[in-house]
């Protein structure tokens, strides 16, 4: 009987509406690792509740939340994933546009690839053998990976680098590939390459803004979110939080739309 009871218990957990927590779980795009950690600390200093931050692929988080994962707030790197949760009845309203991101070519120390924001040398390095591995987030479910692919296509380098690609589950994993030296180059969120952690590992050049669709990043409360999550959501739109986003390389929209 015990295995049957365990199965029934799990099924009931999935069917039970989200219960708000004093320490809410927040699902956040991987590019937010440094900015959001700093904002959460500022929120606590201001008397707000501690929040549990989980960083990963926006597309994977969207699916998990749709399936009932116990997150109370979702910060996506692509506003379309928030809209998908709204359409599925899992998010409260359209949420707010909290930032617009950029991408950059990151080169670890000792890379044979030149720091060229038009990606001409990247394509040449893929053809002459200097580039062995190029890291980026998986374009199938990571918005920054999709933007990287668009930029490579715009530069005419996509065909040359396809056999060199090392795909991270999310932008954070792609950054770890590059930082470890297992890839000679990576196309990553500007917010990650500007961090002290990656700055110690290499350099970067920001890619042209018009080379990919705008990385409009939207957040929304999940249906059933509690007061602690709502207060953090409001803090994310405060002048203090917006200044931290800007510090980490994001553009901040004027009206949240």
Secondary structure (3-state) at 97: strand
∠ CA 182-183-187, rounded to 5°:
140
Q: What is the pLDDT of residues 158-214, one digit of tens each?
A: 999 999 999 999 999 999 998 998 899 999 999 999 999 899 999 999 999 999 999
Q: Are 120 and 96 in a shared domain?
A: no
Establish if 82 belongs to a structural domain: yes
Is residue 8 assigned to a domain?
Answer: no
Structure tokens at 81: 């994933």
Are the C-beta atoms of 250 and 191 separated by less than 8 Å?
yes
Pair (153, 116) in one structural domain: yes
pTM: 0.86
How confident is the model over 154-172, as pLDDT tens digits?
999 999 999 999 999 999 9
Residues 189 and 232 in one domain: no
Q: Is residue 253 part of a domain?
A: no
With CA atoms as reference, report the closest residue to 130 among 150, 157, 149, 112: 112
Do 70 and 153 lie in a common domain? no
Q: Report if residue 13 sits inside a domain.
A: no
- What's the count of helices (H) and strands (E) in the chain, helices before strands? 12, 10
In this structure, the answer to whether residues 95 and 107 fall within a common structural domain is no
Q: Is residue 171 part of a domain?
A: yes
User: Does residue 183 fall inside a structural domain?
Assistant: yes
On whether both 200 and 136 belong to a single domain, the answer is yes
Beta-sheet strand order (sheet of 96-101) = 52-56, 25-29, 73-75, 215-221, 96-101
pLDDT digits (tens, 9 = 90+) for 13-66: 444 444 455 899 999 999 999 999 999 999 999 999 999 999 999 999 999 999
Structural domains counted in the chain: 2
Which residue intervals of 113-226 are DSSP H helices?
Answer: 120-128, 143-154, 158-161, 171-179, 190-193, 196-199
CATH number at residue 56: 3.40.190.10
Residues 187 and 136 in one domain: yes
- The mean per-residue pLDDT over the stretch 222-231 comes to 97
93: domain range? 18-100+214-247
């Amino acid at each position: 009987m015990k295995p049957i009871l365990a199965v029934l218990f799990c099924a009931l957990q999935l069917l039970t509406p989200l219960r708000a927590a004093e320490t809410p779980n927040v699902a956040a795009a991987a590019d937010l690792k440094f900015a959001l950690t700093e904002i959460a600390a500022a929120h606590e200093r201001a008397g707000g509740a501690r929040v549990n931050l989980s960083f990963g692929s926006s597309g994977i988080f969207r699916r998990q939340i749709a399936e009932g994962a116990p997150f109370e707030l979702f910060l996506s790197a692509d506003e379309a994933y928030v809209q998908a949760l709204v359409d599925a009845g899992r998010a409260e309203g359209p949420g707010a546009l909290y930032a617009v991101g950029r991408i950059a070519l990151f080169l670890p120390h000792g890379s044979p690839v030149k720091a060229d924001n038009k990606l001409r040398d990247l394509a040449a390095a893929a053809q002459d053998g200097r580039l062995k591995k190029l890291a980026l987030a998986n374009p199938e479910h990571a918005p920054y990976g999709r933007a990287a692919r668009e930029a490579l296509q715009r530069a005419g380098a996509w065909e040359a680098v396809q056999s060199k690609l090392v795909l991270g589950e999310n932008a954070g994993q792609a950054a770890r590939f590059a930082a470890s030296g297992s890839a000679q180059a990576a196309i990553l969120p500007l917010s990650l390459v500007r961090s002290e952690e990656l700055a110690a590992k290499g350099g970067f050049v920001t890619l042209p803004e018009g080379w990919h669709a705008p990385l409009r990043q939207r957040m929304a409360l999940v249906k059933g979110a509690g007061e602690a999550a709502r207060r953090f959501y409001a803090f994310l739109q405060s002048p203090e939080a917006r200044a931290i986003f800007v510090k980490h390389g994001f553009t901040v929209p004027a009206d949240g739309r």
